[in-house]
Chains A and B, each alone.
Chain A
Amino acid sequence: MEDSQIIELYWRKDSRAISETSGKYGAYCYTVADSILNCPEDSEECVNDTWLQAWNTMPPQRPSKLKLFLVKITRNLSFNRFKARNRDKRGGGEIHLVLDELADCLASETDIENEYAAKELCGCIRRFVRRLPERDGSVFVRRYFFTEPVAVIAERYGLTENNVMVILSRTRKKLKTQLIKEGYINE
C-alpha cells in the first residue's frame, strides 16, 4: 500500500493503518530501535509504541515522508528507553560506540543546560549537516541518526570501512568547530 493510502487510514482512524504500517515499516523501525537498544524485547516494544504514537499524532499531522516520520519516533522512543535503562550501567550495542564517538565533539566541560539551548542545538546540527557535502552528510546521518554500524554504512555506499571512519572523524571535528563557534561548548 502506498504511504498516502496508509496516512489516509490513520486519518480515518481505521485500525488497518497499524497493520499496514507494521507490515511495511516494521522491520525498518525495528532495525533502528535495535541499533540503540540491542535488546529484541525492548526494540519490539518501542516499535509498537511507535505505531501508537503515530496513531495519536495523525491527525492532525500528515507527514510527507511516512517512513522518516516513523523512524524519528522510533529513534526518540528507543533512545529515551535506552537512557532510562542505562543510566548507571553500560552494555553492548552500537549506541555505545556512537555515543563514545560523539564525545569527541565535546570539550571536557560544556555548558548548555536549558531546554531552549537544546532546541537551538537541534537547529545547529540540522544546519551543519545540510552544509556537508552529500556523501559526508549521508555517512554522518547513517551513523549518528540511524546508529548504523560502520560496516553497514561502508557497504551501503561502496566505501571501505576505513574510509567511512575517516569521513566520520573529519566530520566530527567540523561539528566540534561549529559547536565552539556557536557557543555550545567551550574551546
Chain B
Amino acid sequence: MNREDLYEGFKDIDDDILERSEQMAKGKKKSPWVRWGAMAACICLVVAGAVGVHFWRGNQTIPPTPVDPIIIPPDDSGLTAIMATSDTYQTLNELLEYLSTNDYHASTLSADGGNGAGNISATSQQLVEGKRLAACDGYAYHAGRGQVHISELDSQSPIGSIDFEAEQIFVCGDRLVLVDSFVSGGSEIDEEISACVRLYDLNDPKAPKLMDEFVQLGSIIACYVSGDDLFLLTADGVCACGWSRLDDTDDYVPALSKNGAAVTWPDEEICILGEPTSVQYVAATQINVKTGEVANKQAFYGDIAEVFYGAGWLAITTQTRTEQVALHPDIYTFSTGSGYAYTGKISTASLLGLDSGVKMSDGTLPAGNYPYVKAVTQVDGVYRIIGEYVTVNGGNGSTQLLALTANMAEGESNYELIGLDNGLRFDLDDLLWESDRAIATVSTTELFDNDVKVEAQFIFAEFSGMDVSLSCSGIRADAVSGVDGIFDLGDPFGELETLIPMGNGIYLRYNETPDGLDIYDFSDSDAPQQIYDSLGDIPTDCRFEFTWEVYGKNIFGIMVVTPDENGEYRNATFSWNIYAVDVEKENPYTLLKAYPFGKGSNFMASSLGFETLEYEGSYYCSTMDALSVQKLTW
C-alpha cells in the first residue's frame, strides 16, 4: 500500500460526515443524542417527490432575525399561552408551516441529514444527576446488568434485585427512583429512544414496591432531583419538511405516558425559542415523586445548543448556523419549581455590540467577532456565564475569555474580556465553578520548526454580585485532552475534570508528561502557585476514564488504569486507589489502599459502572458485575 492507495481509501467516507464537515461550527460540545436517521431523510425525500416540486419555493430563506435588546424580560401579558420567547411564532403550527418549506437540514443536527438530532447536552454546577448507586435505611441499590441489586450495607451482602436496567438511581425520602432509556421503536438504522422513570415505595426497603411508571419520548439529556421533584429532560426532533403530509401535528409534540396512559401535552406547554431553523426540542417534565403526579411540563423548541440548570432555574442557549447565516448565541432563562416561567433572554450579540448574526456565502464565517457560550450557572438570582470571544481573521484571529453576569429581574448585565498574556489563541478545555469564582483551563498551540507545543494556562473569573474580574495566572501546565490510540475502551477525547479541589485553595491536576498529579495553590487568584510538579509518581497510566472522588481533607480516590505488558489498553487493569496528600512533604502522595479490579480478584470482576457513595460517614462502591456493594476503608 502506498500513499496514493491511502488517499483513495478516503473515497467512501460517509456522506453525513462529509456534510457535517461543511457545516461544523467551532466549539460545539459533544454529547450522545438520538440520531434521527435515514428514516427522517427518506421521509423528506419520498414526501417531496410524491407531492411534486410545486411544494418547494426555491432557495431556503433565512429565518427572520429580530433585533433584540441586551436582556428581554418577559411581558406578563405574553405568559398566558405561548410564552413570549419568540417574536415570530405564536404557535407550533405556525413554526411548522414555515419549516415545511424552510426546514434547514443542518448536518450538524443529524448524522444523515434528517432532522432533530442535535448535539444537545445539559449540565449543572449545582445539582447532581442520579448515580448508579444510592442508599436508604441501611440498604443499597446499585445498577447491575439488567437488574438493580439490593444489598445490605452492614454485611455487604445481596438480598434481592429489581428487574430493571437503570442508568440513574435516586433515593428521595421514601421513594426509590429508577431511570433508564430504551429503544421504543423505529428501525435498526433509525432507533426511537425513550426514557423510562419508575417510582418505587421504600417503606420496606428490602422489597421496593412499584408505584408508577412514566415513559417520555426522546433521549435523556438531564435527570435530577430538587426537593420532592424529579426533573426529566429529554431531547428529540422531527424532520419538518413535508410535515403537512404527516397524520397530524401531534407527531411534533412530545409524547409522555403514565402507567401506559398517554398524558396530553397542550399548546400552552409548548414554548418556541426565537426563530428555529428546524424542529428539535427539549421536553422538561417535573414529577412529584411523593404523589406520582406530573407537576409541570414544558417543551422548548429551538436551535438549542445546550441546557444548563440548577435549583429553581433553567437556561437554554440557542445558536443558529446554516449555510446562509450564523446567529450569535441567545440564552433563554426560566424559573422552575411551580411551572416553567420565562424570566427573559440574554442576547450575547447585543450585549457585545454585535449584529445578531452574519450572512455566509459558502458556510464559512467571515472575518469578525463571534461569542460562544460555554457554561452558565446562577447564584443569588444572578446568571454567571463563561464563554469564548473569538475574532476570526484567517489564521490571525484571537481568543478572549468572556465572563458575563446578568440579573434578569433587574434587566442588568455586565461583562469582562481577557486574552492571554502571550496573545495566543486558545480553546477553553475545562471549567470549574466555585461559589464566587470560576477557574478556566485553556490550551494554546504553537508551532516551532515543525515541533508542536501545546500548553495549558489558567484564567480566574471572580464574581461578586454583578461584578466580575478576570485574571491570567501566567502558570504553564500540560494540556490534557486525552490519550491517543484508544478507541475501544473509551473516548480518548472525553471531557476530563482535570482539577481536583482538595479544599483550602489546594488543587491537584492531571499532568500528562509524565503521568501524575501536579499540585497548585489557587487560594489567591492574583498570585496562584504551582507547589508540586509531578514526577510521574501517581497515578501511573491514569489516562482515561479519569474518575476521582475527594473523601475529605487530604484524602482522595482515583481510578488508575494500567495497560498490559504490551502497552495495550484492551487488556488494561483497573484499580481504585485511595491516597493521602500532604503538600509539605517532598513526596506528597501516600497510597492508603488500592482496590484492584480484574479477573481473580476478590473485589469486583469488572470496573464497568463503577460508582462510589458516601452514606452516614462511610464510603461504598459498586460495579455492574457485583451483586453487592463493597465498603471502602483505608
Contacts and interface: CB of A to CB of B under 8 A. Distances in A.
Interface of A: 2, 4-5, 8, 64-65, 68-69, 71-72, 75-76, 79, 83, 95, 98-100, 102-103, 105-106, 110-113, 117-118, 121-126, 129-131, 133-139, 141-142, 144-146, 151, 154-163, 165-166, 169-170, 173-174, 177-178, 184-185
Contacts of B26: 135, 157-159
Contact of A184 (B1, B392, B493): B1
B12 A161 contact: no
Given A4-B49, A162-B445, A163-B425, A141 B484 contact: no
What's the dominant secondary structure at chain B's contact region? mixed
Interface in B334-393: 363-365, 370, 390, 392
Interface string B94-124: 0000000000000000000100000100000
20 contacts: A8-B49, A64-B45, A68-B18, A98-B7, A102-B6, A103-B3, A112-B1, A112-B5, A121-B6, A122-B11, A126-B13, A129-B17, A139-B21, A145-B11, A145-B18, A145-B21, A158-B390, A162-B446, A162-B452, A185-B1
A133 B397 contact: no
Contact of B53 (A8, A117, A159): A8
Given A106-B3, A137-B21, A161-B395, A126 B12 contact: yes
Contacts of A71: 18
B53 A4 contact: yes
B9 A118 contact: yes
B30 A133 contact: yes
A160 B364 CA distance: 14
Given A155-B364, A155-B395, A123 B12 contact: yes
A141 B493 contact: no
Contact of A169 (B3, B41, B363, B452): B452
B245 interface: no
Contacts of A72: 11
Contacts of A131: 487
A83 B8 CA distance: 11
Nearest to B111: A130
B565 interface: no
Given A64-B42, A142-B21, 6 more contacts: A2-B48, A122-B11, A130-B17, A145-B21, A174-B485, A177-B485
A99 to B, nearest CB: 5
A54 B365 CA distance: 31
Contacts of B493: 133, 136
Name the residue among A4, A64, A129 with the largest chain B CB count within 10 angstroms: A64
Contacts of A162: 445-447, 452
Contact of B445 (A113, A121, A166, A185): A166
A145 B484 contact: no
B24 A163 contact: no
Contacts of B390: 158
A2 B56 contact: yes
Contact of A99 (B4, B9, B25, B41): B4
Given A129-B17, A134-B30, A141-B21, A76 B5 contact: no
B445 to A, nearest CB: 5
A163 B445 contact: yes
B602 interface: no
Nearest to B372: A158
B41 to A, nearest CB: 6
Nearest to A177: B485
Nearest to B42: A64
B94 to A, nearest CB: 23
B53 A5 contact: yes
Interface in B493-524: 493
A62 to B, nearest CB: 8
A120 B15 CA distance: 18
Given A4-B49, A106-B6, A154-B394, A174 B15 contact: no
A151 B11 contact: no
